[in-house]
């Protein structure tokens, strides 16, 4: 196609000169829209789209566009027209010519195929993003830097925070934060949000109805590529309330597991321990950070572990739980009786992920049970004693009569002998006097016993301790012989009297002498008898002291004081009350009773009694 028809017009000539080399198509049109001339680029375009008539590549409203352009005297921009597969944008500009012959309008074409395609693609992508944002269950939002004011919020804002998106636009996120989180954010935000570009934070947002929702926001800063200026912040916020609450619940549970006094142990199917709580470490005296993995079998005695393995784990696997009484051993090898519960924790599939066991140390309880048992044992003893007391009281009543009769007969016999003395009158009289004396003493003891049963007060009179010792030694002679024991005394002369209940002091002495005789290695066959020595003396404090010394097995090495505990006895028929009662008697008298080891082997039981005040007169 010829480039330009030669019209001879000066306007067209000027046009030709002007646009001849332009790469885009340019036309010169008359006021009626007739194409008067075109540049070579127009011809090239027509060739490219395989058309011959330039009118086919102009906008459909070409004539109206020319008219509008002339009417308003200004350019009409970017009127689009299809040219085959291409898109052209034409701009109509009124020509600056004055003559009639010159063109009225210049029409500039531009191939916008590529940019239109790009724009269309952009529109699609934008629509896709919008759709994504609107479909998302997370809140997608845009914010101004600094105040975090919402520029946009996706519809999920309604579901998560109760606000319609348009209600949020213009509102600062910070105003929705929980006050504590606002503070935290303000401390952290400048460094993270503005410097590193991406920022993840978990905050409580106030829901429209007032409650708080935990949102985890991932934010990104958008900057001007040229200046680097911070333009806006884009955030994706997800509701993590359930996760946060679950985490808190887990943390709470973990704290409970840590703090409980029960032992909590986690282990896998092979018995390898993965966790021990504080109580387990403490009770089993294990170091907090062991350097090698422990196995459950190392913490249990073999028999207990065998039971857990065969019965416990099998049941827990099948039913989820097992409980039983087993035992653990601590690092020092001490065995602890325990009550144990095993739980199995299934994995995602059919298997068991791990086991946990809660173990209660029963040592204390066992100890308490033993105490209760001992107490019951003691109660049984007490019951026996009460019966014994009642029997004794009855017996005392019964015995009083014959004893009185003995005394009367003995006295009667003495009187008769005095009237008509036989040959050995003195010997018989002596014997009869002893009978009467002993019978009176027995009567006295019985009277006291009954008094004791009635809980009446005892009599305190000044007594000569040496005399009591001598009498008790005499009293014990037959028993000493039976035991093959030799009784001896080393009594200090001129001891002061003591203010005491004679029968009670006799009771104490009798008890000490009996214990000594029972402890002494006796020889009833008439061989060398082992001695039991009673010694009396005056202490530096002016008390009268009596020591009963034997050469028996001596005191127990661990805790000699236990001998004085009620019901402590090593004798098959013992009551274990003698020493405890004796000590109470001595203490009631202001004295003391204690035991020492005999340096020559055996034991020394001693008591002291304060001397009677000088005004007190000797009784017997």
Instruction: Kindly indicate which of the ranges 218-226, 251-259, 328-336, 574-582 contains the residues binding ligand ADP, using the contact rule CB under 6 A.
Output: 574-582
What is the closest distance, in whole angstroms, from the C-beta atom of residue 555 to ligand ADP in the complex? 6
| Binding-site member from 27, 465, 472, 563 for ligand ADP (CB under 6 A) | 563
Beta bridge partners of 355: 267, 344
Distance, in Å, from the CA atom of 183 to the CA atom of 512, rounded to the nearest integer, reads 83
Count the alpha carbons within 13 Å of 97 in the hemisphere toward its beta carbon. Answer: 20
Instruction: Considering the complex, state which of residue 86 and residue 514 has its C-beta at the smaller distance from ligand ADP.
Output: 514
Number of residues that bind ligand ADP (CB under 6 A): 20
384 is a contact residue toward ligand ADP (CB under 6 A): no
Tell which positions 441-470 bind ligand ADP, by CB under 6 A: none
Instruction: Considering the complex, state which of residue 184 and residue 584 has its C-beta at the smaller distance from ligand ADP.
Output: 584
| Binding-site member from 453, 568, 616, 619 for ligand ADP (CB under 6 A) | 568
578 is a contact residue toward ligand ADP (CB under 6 A): yes
User: Cα(first)–Cα(last) distance of the chain, in Å?
Assistant: 169
516 is a contact residue toward ligand ADP (CB under 6 A): yes
What is the closest distance, in whole angstroms, from the C-beta atom of residue 375 to ligand ADP in the complex? 18
Instruction: Considering the complex, state which of residue 233 and residue 595 has its C-beta at the smaller distance from ligand ADP.
Output: 595
Distance, in Å, from the CA atom of 321 to the CA atom of 316, rounded to the nearest integer, reads 4
Distance, in Å, from the CA atom of 309 to the CA atom of 293, rounded to the nearest integer, reads 19
Q: Indicate the burial class of 31 (C-beta count within 10 angstroms; 0-12, 13-18, 19 or more).
A: middle
Instruction: Considering the complex, state which of residue 177 and residue 605 has its C-beta at the smaller distance from ligand ADP.
Output: 605
Instruction: Considering the complex, state which of residue 30 and residue 566 has its C-beta at the smaller distance from ligand ADP.
Output: 566
Beta bridge partners of 149: 172
Q: Which of 261, 260, 338 is nearest to 299 (CA)?
A: 338
- Please, what's the largest Cα pairwise distance for the chain? 203
Q: Indicate the burial class of 16 (C-beta count within 10 angstroms; 0-12, 13-18, 19 or more).
A: middle
| Binding-site member from 77, 387, 437, 570 for ligand ADP (CB under 6 A) | 570
571 is a contact residue toward ligand ADP (CB under 6 A): yes
| Binding-site member from 51, 112, 575, 616 for ligand ADP (CB under 6 A) | 575
Q: Which residues contact 283 (CB under 8 A, 6 or more apart)?
A: 263, 328, 330, 336, 361
Beta bridge partners of 603: 597
Instruction: Considering the complex, state which of residue 420 and residue 557 has its C-beta at the smaller distance from ligand ADP.
Output: 557
Instruction: Considering the complex, state which of residue 139 and residue 603 has its C-beta at the smaller distance from ligand ADP.
Output: 603
Instruction: Kindly indicate which of the ranges 37-45, 163-171, 294-302, 513-521 contains the residues binding ligand ADP, using the contact rule CB under 6 A.
Output: 513-521
594 is a contact residue toward ligand ADP (CB under 6 A): no
Tell which positions 521-550 bind ligand ADP, by CB under 6 A: 550
Instruction: Kindly indicate which of the ranges 17-25, 124-132, 363-371, 509-517 contains the residues binding ligand ADP, using the contact rule CB under 6 A.
Output: 509-517
509 is a contact residue toward ligand ADP (CB under 6 A): no
Beta bridge partners of 264: 358
Q: Which of 362, 361, 343 is nearest to 353 (CA)?
A: 343
What is the closest distance, in whole angstroms, from the C-beta atom of residue 548 to ligand ADP in the complex? 7
601 is a contact residue toward ligand ADP (CB under 6 A): no
Q: Which residues contact 249 (CB under 8 A, 6 or more apart)?
A: none
**Residue 95: its H or E element:** none
584 is a contact residue toward ligand ADP (CB under 6 A): no
Q: Which residues contact 129 (CB under 8 A, 6 or more apart)?
A: none
Task: Output the CA–CA distances (angstroms, integers) from residue 569 to 132, 304, 445, 563, 573, in the order listed.
Answer: 90, 35, 25, 7, 9
What is the closest distance, in whole angstroms, from the C-beta atom of residue 563 to ligand ADP in the complex? 4
Task: Output the CA–CA distances (angstroms, integers) from residue 592 to 357, 452, 534, 535, in the order listed.
Answer: 55, 22, 17, 16
| Binding-site member from 102, 552, 591, 610 for ligand ADP (CB under 6 A) | 552
What is 594-608 written as a DSSP string?
A: EEEE-TTSSEEEEEE
515 is a contact residue toward ligand ADP (CB under 6 A): yes
What is the closest distance, in whole angstroms, from the C-beta atom of residue 472 to ligand ADP in the complex? 15
What is the closest distance, in whole angstroms, from the C-beta atom of residue 584 to ligand ADP in the complex? 11
Structure tokens at 226: 């040229």
* Number of Cβ atoms within 10 Å of the Cβ of 498: 24
What is the closest distance, in whole angstroms, from the C-beta atom of residue 546 to ligand ADP in the complex? 14
574 is a contact residue toward ligand ADP (CB under 6 A): yes
What is the closest distance, in whole angstroms, from the C-beta atom of residue 594 to ligand ADP in the complex? 12
422 is a contact residue toward ligand ADP (CB under 6 A): no
Instruction: Considering the complex, state which of residue 25 and residue 578 has its C-beta at the smaller distance from ligand ADP.
Output: 578
Instruction: Considering the complex, state which of residue 462 and residue 552 has its C-beta at the smaller distance from ligand ADP.
Output: 552
For ligand ADP, the binding residues (CB under 6 A) are 511, 515-516, 519, 550, 552-553, 563, 568-571, 574-580, 603
């Amino acid at each position: 196609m010829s480039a330009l028809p030669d019209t001879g017009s000066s306007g067209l000539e000027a046009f030709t000169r002007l646009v001849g080399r332009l790469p885009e198509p340019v036309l010169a049109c008359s006021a009626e829209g007739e194409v008067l001339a075109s540049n070579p680029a127009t011809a090239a375009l027509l060739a490219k789209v395989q058309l011959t008539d330039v009118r086919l590549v102009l906008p459909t409203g070409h004539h109206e566009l020319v008219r509008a352009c002339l009417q308003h005297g200004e350019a009409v921009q970017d009127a689009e027209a299809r040219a085959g597969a291409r898109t052209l944008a034409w701009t109509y500009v009124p020509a600056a010519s004055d003559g009639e012959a010159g063109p009225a309008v210049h029409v500039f074409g531009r191939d916008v195929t590529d940019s239109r395609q790009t724009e269309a693609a952009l529109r699609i992508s934008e629509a896709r993003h919008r759709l994504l944002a609107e479909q998302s269950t997370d809140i997608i939002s845009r914010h101004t830097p600094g105040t975090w004011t919402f520029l946009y919020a996706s519809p999920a804002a309604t579901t998560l925070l109760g606000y319609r998106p348009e209600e949020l636009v213009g509102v600062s996120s910070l105003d929705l934060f929980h006050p504590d989180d606002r503070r935290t954010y303000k401390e952290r935000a400048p460094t993270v949000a503005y410097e590193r570009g991406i920022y993840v934070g978990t905050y409580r947002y106030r829901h429209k109805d007032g409650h708080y929702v935990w949102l985890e926001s991932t934010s990104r800063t958008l900057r001007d590529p040229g200046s680097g200026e911070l333009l806006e912040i884009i955030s994706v916020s997800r509701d993590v309330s359930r996760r946060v609450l679950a985490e808190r619940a887990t943390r709470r549970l973990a704290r409970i597991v840590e703090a409980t006094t029960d032992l909590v142990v986690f282990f896998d199917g092979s018995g390898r321990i993965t966790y021990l709580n504080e109580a387990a470490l403490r009770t089993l005296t294990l170091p907090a950070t062991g350097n090698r993995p422990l196995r459950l079998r190392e913490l249990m005695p073999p028999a207990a572990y065998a039971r857990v393995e065969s019965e416990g784990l099998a049941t827990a696997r099948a039913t989820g739980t097992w409980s039983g009484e087993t035992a653990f051993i601590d690092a020092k090898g001490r065995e602890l009786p325990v009550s144990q519960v095993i739980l199995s924790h299934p994995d995602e599939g059919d298997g068991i992920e791990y086991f946990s066991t809660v173990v209660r140390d029963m040592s204390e309880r066992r100890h308490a049970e033993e105490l209760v048992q001992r107490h019951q044992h003691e109660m049984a003893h007490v019951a026996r004693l009460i019966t014994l007391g009642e029997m004794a009281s009855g017996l005392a009543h019964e015995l009083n009569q014959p004893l009185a009769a003995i005394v009367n007969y003995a006295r009667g016999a003495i009187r008769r002998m005095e009237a008509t003395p036989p040959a050995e009158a003195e010997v018989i009289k002596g014997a009869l006097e002893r009978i009467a004396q002993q019978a009176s003493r027995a009567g006295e003891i019985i009277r006291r016993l009954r008094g004791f049963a009635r809980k009446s007060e005892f009599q305190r009179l000044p007594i000569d301790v040496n005399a009591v010792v001598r009498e008790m030694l005499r009293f014990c002679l037959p028993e000493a012989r039976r035991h093959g024991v030799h009784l001896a005394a080393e009594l200090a002369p001129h001891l002061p009297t003591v203010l005491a209940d004679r029968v009670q002091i006799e009771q104490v002495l009798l008890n000490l002498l009996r214990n000594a005789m029972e402890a002494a290695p006796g020889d009833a066959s008439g061989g060398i008898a082992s001695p039991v020595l009673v010694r009396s003396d005056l202490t530096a404090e002016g008390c009268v002291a009596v020591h009963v010394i034997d050469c028996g097995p001596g005191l127990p090495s661990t805790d000699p004081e236990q001998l004085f505990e009620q019901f402590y006895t090593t004798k098959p028929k013992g009551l274990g009350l003698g020493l405890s009662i004796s000590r109470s008697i001595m203490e009631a008298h202001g004295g003391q009773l204690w035991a020492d080891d005999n340096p020559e082997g055996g034991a020394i039981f001693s008591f002291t009694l304060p001397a009677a005040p000088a005004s007190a007169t000797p009784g017997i």
